[in-house]
Amino acid sequence: MENIDEVINKKNEYKRVYEASDIEIKKRLESLAESLPRLEGSALVSYKWLLEKERMIHMALNLFVVENTWYVGTCWCPKNKRDEIDSIITNLRENKKMQCSNLKEMQNLTLTPPTKLRTNEFFNSFNDIIEYYGIPAYREINPVIFITITFPFLFGIMFGDIAHGTIITTFSTYLVLNKNSIDKFNSMTKSLLKYRYLLLLSGIFSIFGGIITNDFAGFPIYLTRSCFKGDRNEYGEYYTKITNCVYPFGIDPRWVIASNSLQYLNSYRMKLGLLIGTIQMLLGVILKGLNLLYFDKQIELLLNYLPQVILITSFLGYMAGLIIVKWLTNWEERIPPSIITCLINIFISNESEDNGSFFENVKMEVTANKVLFGIICFSTVSMMVMRPIYLYTQRYAEASGGMQEIQIRPYEAFIDNEQIKKDEELQDKCLESILNSIEFGLGLFSSTASYLRLWALSLSHSELSFVFFEMTLGLSFYNESYTTFYFVTSLSNVIDVFIIFNACWYIFSGVVVYGSY
């Protein structure tokens, strides 16, 4: 019995100690969580920031090398910030009584400095896109300047819609004008402030793309007078083209009711996407050439870059030329040729006349295809082997000039031989040149196919908007005397359709997105 009483007493004692400790811990945590005016927050948050500060200080100290009683480290400093940093160090030394020296520039440094892209609030969002894919080398052309226009422009081509572009432009304009007031509150809108200029340009180019394709929430509007005149007969409604009439900008709205409307718009958007892709890829190649000229890399410019230019212009330039010629030629008197067939014929030399031709006769086309095929093959092979051949020739000349009497030495004597290191570097450069050439060739065709997304997304956005309108509000715009829907011809109709249809569209999209979670 005495043992049982002793166990019970110890149990009760441990319980009292546990309860007292628990109460003390809770009181301590509550005191730490209380906001203190002198700390501008709770003590717990202050301790957290203190520990984080100490951690960062020790991480920085680990980057230094200890020499006697000094911590010595190396860093990269922008030249325009040199005076500012020296002023801060001088202030620490004089006012804080800290022993530290000013920056000393290192001489004969062979390391390549890192790239610092200078940005501001306007370019910040575009700079994030560049850093996501890769930062350019030191002193190369800053691509942020170009992507500021090309990225929103491509978005506008894919999302070309006057109604939806107006919504994006209105919302982004609100973010731009009310940046300071929105920044004061922790809301979801605050996270979009960094991308307000990206959204603004995307919305503007979406409106521009919608005007080009004459797309307002999935159906066309009359920006100007149509070049097709409508009439009726015993067979129904038909349209005839007005003589010498050209729609001034974009696509004539009457094309939407044509029997071959989808085929025509499909071809138009696809060719437009390929043309835009060709121009952007040529811009990238031109920028690469300018970088090589700036760094005076003449060998790479002649033996690697020049074949790349020949390859991209012979294939993509030829394709773009066929697209433009087909647009500008009247094919009423002969069969319009297929551009895809013409490109395939470059590699198979087909002499069939069934698919039409861009030339006066098939023999001229076959001759042109053989010439293009030869140029493509020559530029591809040159791009892969010319630079390695030059490097091997140069290396052989250096080795021949320094030939000495051959002596038999043990294997260990060759381990740190400088010649072996140069041979390894040469092999690495040759392999790098071949791999870059293969990557360029594959990227040429894959990027061309990727730009077809401009066509696919643009067409799908337009068709989905039209189908949604047709299945929801289309019946209210249906005219019994005609077999087509009304076009938006007045300001009141534009406002009604813009508000009602887009409200239904975004409610429907929200329900679909919410239901997918």
Q: Quickly count: other Cβ atoms within 10 Å of residue 207's Cβ.
A: 19
114 neighbors 76 (Cβ within 8 angstroms): yes
Q: What is the pLDDT of residue 249?
A: 79
Give the 3-state secondary structure of residue 225: coil
- Residue 346 tokens read as 């470059």
- Among the ranges given (58-72, 387-401, 436-450, 499-513), the one the predictor scored with the smallest mean pLDDT: 499-513
- Among the ranges given (105-114, 205-214, 351-360), the one the predictor scored with the smallest mean pLDDT: 351-360
- Residue 214 tokens read as 């004459």
Q: How far apart are CA 185 and CA 90, in angstroms?
A: 39
Q: What is the pLDDT of residue 254?
A: 81
- 65 phi and psi angles, rounded to 5 deg: -110, 130
Give the 3-state secondary structure of residue 105: coil
Rounded mean pLDDT, 5-23: 83
- Residue 15 tokens read as 């319980």
Concatenated DSSP letters of 397-452: HHHHHT--------GGGGTT-HHHHHHHHHHHHHHHHHHHHHHHHHHHHHHHHHTH
Rounded mean pLDDT, 146-170: 88
E strand or H helix at 161, and its extent?
Answer: none
Q: How far apart are CA 472 and CA 466, in angstroms?
A: 10
The alpha helices in 178-260, defined as continuous H runs, are 179-183, 196-213
Distances in whole angstroms, Cα of residue 461 to Cα of each of 18, 157, 200, 202, 455:
66, 11, 20, 16, 10
Give the 3-state secondary structure of residue 466: helix
- 216 phi and psi angles, rounded to 5 deg: -125, 95
Rounded mean pLDDT, 288-302: 90
Provide the residue ranges of all domains of the chain, joining segments of one domain with +: 270-398+417-450
218 neighbors 466 (Cβ within 8 angstroms): yes
pLDDT tens-digit readout, 215-251: 887 777 777 778 888 777 766 677 778 878 888 877 8
Q: How far apart are CA 169 and CA 219, in angstroms?
A: 20
pLDDT tens-digit readout, 469-516: 666 665 555 544 333 444 444 444 555 555 555 555 555 554 443 443
115 neighbors 90 (Cβ within 8 angstroms): no
Q: In whole numbers, what is the pLDDT of the chain averaged over residues?
A: 78
Q: Quickly count: other Cβ atoms within 10 Å of residue 122's Cβ.
A: 14
Q: How far apart are CA 220 and CA 494, in angstroms?
A: 11
Q: Quickly count: other Cβ atoms within 10 Å of residue 156's Cβ.
A: 25
CA angle 63, 67, 68 (to 5 degrees): 140
pLDDT tens-digit readout, 73-87: 888 888 888 888 888
**Nearest to residue 505, comparing CAs of 467, 450, 453?**
467
35 neighbors 42 (Cβ within 8 angstroms): yes
pLDDT tens-digit readout, 448-475: 888 887 777 777 777 777 777 666 665 5
Cα atoms in the 13 Å half-sphere on the side-chain side of 68: 1
- Residue 331 tokens read as 């094919």
390 neighbors 311 (Cβ within 8 angstroms): no
Classify 216 in phi/psi space as left (phi over 0), alpha (psi -120 to 50) or beta: beta
Q: How far apart are CA 301 and CA 299, in angstroms?
A: 5
**Nearest to residue 168, comparing CAs of 179, 152, 181?**
152
- Among the ranges given (87-101, 255-269, 496-510), the one the predictor scored with the smallest mean pLDDT: 496-510
Give the 3-state secondary structure of residue 268: helix
- Residue 111 tokens read as 């390391």
Query: Is the pLDDT assigned to residue 204 strictly greater than 90?
Result: yes
Q: Largest Cα–Cα distance in the chain?
A: 119
Rounded mean pLDDT, 283-296: 91
- Residue 263 tokens read as 């085929």
Q: How far apart are CA 56 and CA 58, in angstroms?
A: 5
Concatenated DSSP letters of 40-67: TEEHHHHHHHHHHHHHHHHHHHTTSEEE
CA angle 142, 144, 145 (to 5 degrees): 85
Q: How far apart are CA 327 and CA 331, in angstroms?
A: 9
The CA-to-CA distance between both ends of the chain, in Å, stands at: 64
The residue type found at 294 is: Y
- In this structure, what DSSP letter does residue 313 have? I
